[in-house]
Structure 1
Amino acid sequence: MIAEKSSIEYVRSSNSESIELAQTYFEKAESIRYEEDSKPEDHFPLYLKAANMGHYKAQLRVVMAYLDGDGVERDDIKAFEWCKIATESEEVDAFVLDLLAWLYNDGIGTKKDKKKAFEIYNKAFALYLHDAENGDINAMGEVACYYKNGLGISKNPKKAFVWTERVAEKIQTGESLAKLAYYYETGYGTERNIDKSSELYAKVIDMCSAEKLFDIAEDFAYSDDKREKEQAHRWYSLAAEKGNAKIIKDVALYYDMEENVSKAMEYYEKAAVLGDIDAMTILGDFYYYGYDIEKNYAKAIKFYKKAFELGNADKLKESYEDVIFENIADMYSSGGYGIEQNISEAYKWEMRAKKSLTKIMIKRSNINTDETTKIIEPAQIKDEINGHLS
């Protein structure tokens, strides 16, 4: 969607009472936001009130809420409009300018305008550079990124390397050292130095948890540069070697999204061996539906049943439990792809699916269980199955 005319009626507050009230709304929203059981829809209205009264930080919260659909329906146009409003604030910083430039660059909530994006990126860069020269670590990283990608300025590999090196020297985090290692390995902005890159890689692997290694992989994963994609694969592999079932499953999800089925299956199976129920159900789906692989009902049933047995209907998402049971029933009903037709097994799993669905309906509607257990009678289910199989 593209914004043609602003849908936001906004008047900046200038009197001290309004400013104080806006701050009160913002602080209340922040307080609710970090409560243990809070929901986004609980604090969004307060952020919106504060934003409408000119509170800069509240406006940023509103922008992100509309972009993410967090506490409000996603609305790219409103996100763009609020971002423009925020850039008019006296408090405007590089972050919000960077965000507005990105919206123009990608045409999110507005018409794509590369020229406008470049101009705004240039303004953001000037602010980042000022902060970086005054020792702000985050700004240093952004300056390196701007030089590397040519955001609002000409690309400058040497300066990108210099600022990346400064960040790494100052904070010595896995992420900063991994970036520096990549520059040494590829000779980006500096003389290629394999010994130095190997030394840094070893240091990162030694100091980082599986979660941190996964985060490093994510930093490289979504680049269009083939070499950076290879870096992502390196770090995903290392994260999986160190990781628990969840990390390994997350690596599988990345390859799944990249449509690399063989790699995705490899990591899903590793996660399943370690007891990850989601990985088991996903593998079941792969073999049942034949997602870029040959259908194999024997394997699909094995993974589905294992997920159910381990989950014991608690860890297994109820919203999907009935679908799994229906799929198992369907496979036994039709046979083939590695199994014999088995009508009695089909009936048993169809019964489970019906009961599971009834349980979900009861929970959703808050109907008394005793009054609803008669919703589905065994004879009715049997008739339905016989009709389905005939």
Structure 2
Amino acid sequence: MTKIGAGFLTLALLAVPLAAEAAPNTPPIVPPTADQTLKPVDPKLAPKGFSRDLPSPYTPNAEGLRPPSTANADMAYGAYQRGRYNTAFREASKRVETNPKDAAALTLLGELYNQGLGVKQDPKRALEWYRLAAGLGDAHAMASLGLMAMDGRGQPKDQKAGRRWLEQASEKGEASAAYNLALLQLGSGKPEDVTAAATLFEKAAKAELAPAQHDLGVLYLQGRGVPKDSTKAAEYFRRAADNGDLAGEVEFAILLFNGNGVAKDEPRAARYFLHAAARGNAIAQNRVARLYVVGRGVSKNLVEAGAWNLAAAAQGLSDAWLDQSLTGLTKEERTRAEALGSERAKVQP
């Protein structure tokens, strides 16, 4: 389990296994364990284990909104989105020359230096640009400064300063800052801080930040910081899944399969499991294999079961029950399963 520093807990502690009901003689479809559910994100920008899959300031959100700089065409932003980082740097620099108070352009320059895109990576230069933008009230720059202070990137580590930056960014509506503040609140273990974390997760979830939607769903499922409510948990997991969060996709599939907080629908659950499995999630691959063995939500198919079992095993998730269930495969069927499993194992989440 990864850590974000002394005195802090990762959100992985929330994702403890949850009870799941299953029909007699049918292997249970259980939630992923903590270490298999959550993973660290963008190592270039965030401390290990601190946050997951957070968008950069210039990544469009689920609604396709433009950056905060302008409603007009933005050549620097457009170039960044297309991976033309040299052009993005050149256009952002032109904008700053024309208007030294162009906060969005200043933030983009900070982003490019921070990640080493189009320019040599230089955290100290990134800090300079971010600080100029933050001084002009740019919430994205504030959030980046918060993460960099927490990580000691381009500067000595300063947890208090990092938190202050995140708080300022969150107050301005920056979703990733609210999310990271929620993770910090969870670190104390105090009930009142868990409640505060839930409020921050909700704030980020409303901005369609998928990790926040997943993590808020976990809190509702467990009744931590919020009243226990499997219906709300299912809704947040669904939204997280629809926004591309693998953990949310698996959690929603589990609730769908068991009819917990949402109408039971095994074929629909199987589709979510299959989608997550195809994206390389080992838990989903294992669950799909089990479904193919028993013919629940999908037609029974031992070759498919064997293929998905092998794909999951390639990621270290072994399953003695599945291994035993697949001993009856013929030599030809096993060969086909091995070929399919090898191909699917190449896809990593």
Would you say same fold, with TM above 0.5?
no
What is the TM-score of this pair, normalised by structure 2? 0.37
Greater RCO structure (CA 8 Å; 6+ sep): 2
The structure carrying a bigger helix percent of its residues is 1
Of structures 1 and 2, the larger Rg is shown by 1
